[in-house]
Chains A and B, each alone.
Chain A
């Protein structure tokens, strides 16, 4: 079945530590890939996107993501987290080959907690 999977529901890291959030997708053709962040009670902010080209994508707030076709993954990374990074992170895809307006499909989200 076509899906977006974020294997980690909740991750806790210490401030200043590195971070990697996992995202896997299952689609016949590589979809368009996105990471969004949502602070409590807020809307979603686009961190970065991958459409094609260089497989290492730089985003806002010091985040980057790496697309790995062989693993059907698009993992989000940050070298050193800050307390303000505590939020819910959603991986999302727009499947290709769909006739009509785009449908953004979200993973279940990963909640990030930062220890001081």
Chain B
């Protein structure tokens, strides 16, 4: 089973709202990732968690706050977002954060900020 699940599938939020995106995998993977993908563009890495510790933050604004409560779960907390943050947010996982491991992606959450 190489499935990564993400909820919700769609999210519409105002600029003053607080919401969270959730990602889950049951493959025993120890690395998890958040990506942002704008229309007609490739995914851009936001955060990497390795063994539940944040190991990479690609200079993401503080209105995005990641959390890894355990090895299977990854959350992305959203607060005071801007309309330009509207995008597809993808979660991925890999067996390890080492270089020679492929990443498996979830279906994404389509976020619209109004």
Decide if A44 touches B101 in the complex (CB within 8 Å).
Answer: no
A28 proximal to B (CB < 8 A): no
Decide if B108 touches A104 in the complex (CB within 8 Å).
Answer: no
Contacts of B92 in A (CB 8 A): 44, 104
Describe A's contact surface by its main secondary structure: loop
Contacts of B48 in A (CB 8 A): 101-103
Task: With both chains docked as a complex, state the minimum distance between the C-beta of B45 and any C-beta of chain A, in angstroms.
Answer: 6
Give the contacts of A84-116 with B (CB-CB under 8 A): 90, 94-96, 98, 100-104, 106-109
Interface size class of B (residues with CB under 8 A): 20 to 34
Decide if B42 touches A90 in the complex (CB within 8 Å).
Answer: yes
Decide if B110 touches A101 in the complex (CB within 8 Å).
Answer: no
Contacts of A104 in B (CB 8 A): 33, 45, 92, 103
Contact A43 to B107, CB < 8 A, known contacts A103-B45, A106-B42 = yes
Which A residues have a C-beta under 8 Å from some C-beta of B?
A: 32, 34, 36, 41-46, 49, 51, 90, 94-96, 98, 100-104, 106-109
Which B residues have a C-beta under 8 Å from some C-beta of A?
A: 4, 6, 31, 33, 40-43, 45, 48, 50, 55-56, 88, 90, 92, 94, 97-108, 110
